[in-house]
Chains A and B, each alone.
Chain A
């Protein structure tokens, strides 16, 4: 009943997802392998990440921009950590546990930026996506497969963790 029509407007428009795949698959594998240290698991994580990207392709407008880069790096880190937890049959949702993720060199000023770099990956991801890359909580909800309230709660917990780390480090906020 629904007739399939071809409505491609341009080659670039047609293959946005394919362009993402071609451009980032190597980097995504690199990140996944860093975390998982296993080729098959890393490839699985890359596949899962692209499935998630496919679901949220509407949120990506450019292949090569900081916002897209941030999303790509976050999603592959997230899928890699999920894989690691599944391998270890970890069902805890306690984000206070240290999770292996991408190690980010602290920018070096000993202040808030360093504290963000040292956050648990889950908190760091949402802080970067929201504050550095400008994603709204509604967008994050779709991208991270969470409810919007959960995203807000996660942001709040991330900021609380930051405050606590800064206070313990004797750094005035």
Chain B
């Protein structure tokens, strides 16, 4: 009685919907749009990167069989050498007209499942909500109607974060000796943002809110790990 929606029924109905969806959309060959040159340039780079990764994957599959000792040695080296791990984490920052996308390419080293919070926030703010996805977590601190968003995400391969930076000036800043970027909005209706990357733990952090640079850096430097309760 409970599950009268059988897989067979769902499959048949879903296929009908798929046909209807396709019929409602134009044929790909009839869709033309002129993308800007910088877009095409970024895509060429992405295509090249994808090909390199595909070739490297295929190469590694064959080399492992023939050179197993070499691969094991390399893996051991990566496990003990933080600098070597960092060398295999690459990130690309792409600046669009109204946004900035941070995109990460990672060697695939296992990430620890760690939770963070802001250890210090301006007076009046309290942590009110947490939104967790598989990769990104956002903590929301509120003071009346004002909000501070603290976000962290694992820099897994292909992970990316995007800031809408229309009318924002960018300034490099330091967070505990790590270089970050502060986005100062020129629009009173848009908040400021601070982005920095913890290379040791492969975490991208960001804070957004109607907060000045010094206060944001103070919050950023107060980030602490939440110890799991027993």
Contact = CB atoms under 8 A, between A and B. Distances in A.
Interface residues of B, number: 66
Nearest to B191: A89
B132 to A, nearest CB: 9
B13 A50 contact: no
Nearest to B99: A44
Nearest to B4: A173
Interface string A4-46: 1111100000110110010111110111000000001101101
B223 interface: no
B49 to A, nearest CB: 7
A25 B4 contact: no
Interface of B: 4-5, 7, 9-11, 13-28, 30-33, 35-36, 39, 42-43, 46-47, 49-51, 54-56, 58-60, 62-63, 70, 74, 94, 96-99, 101, 103, 129, 131, 133-135, 138, 140, 149, 157-158, 160, 162, 164
A39 to B, nearest CB: 9
User: What's the dominant secondary structure at chain B's contact region?
Assistant: helix
Contacts of B94: 47
Contacts of A128: 14, 17-18, 21
B7 to A, nearest CB: 7
Contact of B51 (A17, A107, A113): A17
Contact of B160 (A23, A51, A106): A51
B32 A132 contact: no
Q: Which of A31, A111, A115, A145 has the most CB of B within 10 A?
A: A145
Nearest to A52: B158
A69 B17 contact: no
Nearest to B55: A7
User: What's the dominant secondary structure at chain A's contact region?
Assistant: helix
Contacts of A157: none
B13 A112 contact: yes
A125 to B, nearest CB: 10
Contacts of B58: 7
B10 A21 contact: no
Contacts of B18: 66, 70, 128, 132-133
A51 B45 CA distance: 11
A57 B51 CA distance: 10
Given A40-B96, A103-B24, A127 B50 contact: no
B61 to A, nearest CB: 10
Interface string A148-165: 001000000001001100
